Amino acid sequence: MRSEDLFKKAASLIKASKKVMVLTGAGISTESGIPDFRSPGTGLWENMDPTEILSTQVLFNYPEKFYKIGFKILSSMRNAEPNEAHYILSEMEKKGVIAGVITQNIDNLHQKAGSKKIYEVHGNTREGSCLRCGEKVSFEVLERKVEKGEIPPRCDKCNGILRPDVVLFGDPMPYAFDLAVKEVQESDLLIVIGSSLVVAPVNFLPGMVDRLIIINATETPYDYKADVVIREKASYALRNIWDLIKN
Least Å distance, CB 144 to ligand NAD, is: 22
**Cβ pair 226, 213 in contact under 8 A:** yes
Q: Radius of gyration over alpha carbons of the chain, in Å?
A: 19
234-246 and 84-94 helices cross at what angle (nearest 10)? 30
Q: Which is nearer to ligand NAD, 37 or 67 (CB)?
A: 37
Least Å distance, CB 33 to ligand NAD, is: 10
Which residues ranging from 183 to 202 are in contact with ligand NAD (CB under 6 A)?
Answer: 194-196, 199
Q: How far apart are CA 136 and CA 119, in angstroms?
A: 20
Q: How far apart are CA 88 and CA 30, in angstroms?
A: 16
What strands lie across the sheet with 136-138, from one edge to the other?
136-138, 123-130, 162-166
Q: Which is nearer to ligand NAD, 151 or 199 (CB)?
A: 199
Q: Which is nearer to ligand NAD, 149 or 172 (CB)?
A: 172
Q: List the x/- string, 112-151, binding to ligand NAD by CB under 6 A.
A: ----------x-----------------------------
Q: How far apart are CA 159 and CA 118, in angstroms?
A: 33
Count residues binding ligand NAD (CB under 6 A). 27
Q: List the x/- string, 79-118, binding to ligand NAD by CB under 6 A.
A: -------------------------xxxx-----------
Which residues ranging from 161 to 180 are in contact with ligand NAD (CB under 6 A)?
Answer: none
- Bond preceding residue 152 cis, omega within 30 of 0: yes
Q: How many CA atoms does the CB half-sphere of 219 hold within 13 Å? A: 2
List strand residue ranges (DSSP E) for the chain, in order: 20-24, 100-103, 118-120, 123-130, 136-138, 162-166, 189-193, 211-215, 228-230
Contacts of 63 (CB under 8 A, 6+ apart): 151, 152, 161
Which residues ranging from 205 to 244 are in contact with ligand NAD (CB under 6 A)?
Answer: 216-218, 233-234
Q: Which is nearer to ligand NAD, 155 or 228 (CB)?
A: 228
The answer to whether residue 70 forms part of the interface with ligand NAD (CB under 6 A) is: no
Q: Which of 110, 122, 145, 233 is flagged as catalytic?
A: 122
Least Å distance, CB 234 to ligand NAD, is: 4
Instruction: Determine whether 122 is an active site residue.
Output: yes
Residues that bind ligand NAD (CB under 6 A): 25-27, 29-31, 34, 36-39, 43, 77, 104-107, 122, 194-196, 199, 216-218, 233-234
Catalytic residues: 122
